[in-house]
Amino acid sequence: MVTTTLQRPAPSRVASARRRRVLGLGVIVALLVAAAVLSLAVGARALSPTEVWHGLFGAADPDQKLTDIRLIVQTVRLPRTVLAIVAGIALGVGGALIQGYTRNPIADTGLLGVNTGASFAVVAAIAVFGLTDPFQYVWFAFLGAAIAGVVVFGLASMGRGAGNPLTLALAGQGVAVFLAAMTTAVALSNKAALNALRFWNVGSVAGVRFDVIWPVSLFIVVGLVLALATLPSVNLLNLGDDVARGLGVNITLVRTVGIIAITLLAGAATAACGPIAFLGLMVAHVARYLAGPDYRWLVPYAGLLGAVVLLVCDIVGRVVVRPGELDAGVLVALLGAPFFAAMVWRGKFKSA
C-alpha cells in the first residue's frame, strides 16, 4: 500500500495536474477580486465602479456627494471587505489543516475549542471589567481562543492516547462543552455581557475598524507562515503515523507547530468577527475536490475559497433584507448546515 502511494507518476501527468491546479487558482483569485469590487459597491447605497474608484483613490473634494462616497468606501466598506478576505483565508486554511492533522473529514476549527474559548473570554471581560468597545474585548477573545487551543492540545497529549486524532477530538469537545456552559452562566448573570455576546456570537465582518484588523492580521500572517512550513509533513501524516515516522517526520513537533498555526488562524479570525461556523469545513472539501489530496495545493485553494465564500455571503446579506442586513455568519451557517448533513449522509451511504 505504501509502495503504491510513493510511486512516481508520469511526468506528463504531473505537468498536466500542475497546469490544472494553477489555472484553478487563477480562476479563484479572479473570483476573489470580482467579489471584493462588488463588496465595495453593494450596500444600502449602491455605487458605480467610477464612484468606488473615487472613494478609494480620489483626493478630497468640496463636493459633498463625493465626500460622502469617500467616507462610505474608506470607513465602512473597505474595512469589512479586508476583514472578510483575511478572516476567510484564515478559517479556510485552518479548516483544511485541522482535517489533515486529525484525519477527520468532518473536523472544523471549532474542534480545538477556539470558538467557545473566545466567547467565554468576551463575556468574562465584559462582566468583570465592564468593557464595551470591540477594540478592547477583541484581545480577550483572542487570548481565550489561544488558551482553549493550548488546553485542548495539552489534554490530548496526555495519557495512553497521546497524539491520537481521536483523543484530540474528544478533548476538544469536552473543553468546548465546559466553556459553553460557563459562557451561558456568566452571560445570564450579566445583562451587558449577554447583549454583547448576542451580537458578537452571530459572526459578522461589519463594524470592525482597521485598528482592530491590522493587529489581528499580523497573527494570521504568522499562522499562515507556520501552516505553509508544515504542508509537506501533513501529506506524510495522512499516510499514517507509522509511515510518517519511518519517513523521518518528527510527529510531535509537526503536530505541535500545526496546532499552534491553527490556533493563531482560527483564534485571530474568531476574535475579529465572531465564530463563523462551517466555513472551514465546507471550503476544505471543495478544495479537496478541485485540487486533490496534496496539501501543498489543497491549503491555498481552501484559503482563497474561504475568502470568496465569506465575501459573497456578506454581500448577499446586505441585499436580501434591505434596508437592513443579515450577518455573514448566519448565511454561512445556512449554507454550511445542509453541506454538513450531505457530508454525513454521503459517508454513511459509502459505508452501507
For 168-189, write each residue's pLDDT tens digit: 778 888 999 999 999 989 888 8
pLDDT at residue 95, as a whole number: 92
* Within-domain flag for 6: no
pLDDT for 240 equals 80
Distance CA(6)–CA(83), nearest Å, equals: 40
In a domain, 303, yes or no: yes
What's the CA gap between 338 and 282, in Å, rounded? 10
> What pLDDT is attached to residue 271?
86
- As for how many domains the chain has, the answer is 1
Does any domain span residue 18? no
Distances (CA, A) of 212 to 79, 139, 142, 269, 312: 10, 9, 12, 11, 22
Residue 132 falls inside a structural domain: yes
Output the domain CATH number for residue 298. Answer: 1.10.3470.10
Nearest Cα neighbor of 84 from 312, 262, 266 is 312
The CA-to-CA distance between both ends of the chain, in Å, stands at 24
C-alpha to C-alpha distance for 116 and 145, rounded to whole angstroms = 7
Quote the pLDDT of residue 83.
96
Distance, CA of 338 to chain centre: 19
In a domain, 20, yes or no: no
The pLDDT, as a whole number, for residue 61 is 67
For residues 114 and 267, the answer to whether their CB atoms sit within 8 Å is yes
Cα–Cα distance for residue pair 32/282, rounded to 1 Å: 17
What's the pLDDT score for residue 6?
47
Task: Render pLDDT for 62-116 as a digit per residue (tens, 0 to 9).
Answer: 777 778 888 899 999 999 999 999 999 999 999 999 888 888 787 788 777 888 8
Measured distance CA(243)–CA(6) in Å, rounded:
11
For the stretch 130-164, pLDDT in tens is 877 777 778 888 889 889 988 888 887 776 665 56
As a whole number, the mean pLDDT across the chain is: 85
Whether residue 19 lies inside any domain: the answer is no
In 3D space, the residue among 263, 123, 128 whose CA is nearest the CA of residue 179 turns out to be 123
Instruction: Give me the percent of the chain exceeding a pLDDT of 90.
Output: 36
Distances from the Cα of 258 to the Cαs of 48, 109, 136, 220, 264, in angstroms?
A: 43, 12, 28, 13, 10
Domain-embedded: residue 22: no
In one-letter notation, the amino acid at residue 240 is: G
Write out the residue range of the structural domain in which residue 181 sits. Answer: 28-351
**Of the given ranges (100-114, 243-257, 297-311), which has the lowest mean pLDDT?**
100-114
Q: Band of the pLDDT at 347, cuts 50, 70, 90?
A: low
Q: Which residues contact 101 (CB under 8 A, 6 or more apart)?
A: 165, 168, 234, 237, 255, 258, 259, 262
Mean pLDDT of 206-232: 91
In a domain, 2, yes or no: no
Percentage above 70 pLDDT, the chain: 92
17-57: per-residue pLDDT in tens? Answer: 889 999 999 999 999 999 999 999 998 888 888 888 888 88
Residue with cell 465564530: 275
Over residues 206-224, the mean pLDDT reads 91
Q: According to the model, what pLDDT value does residue 9 have?
A: 57
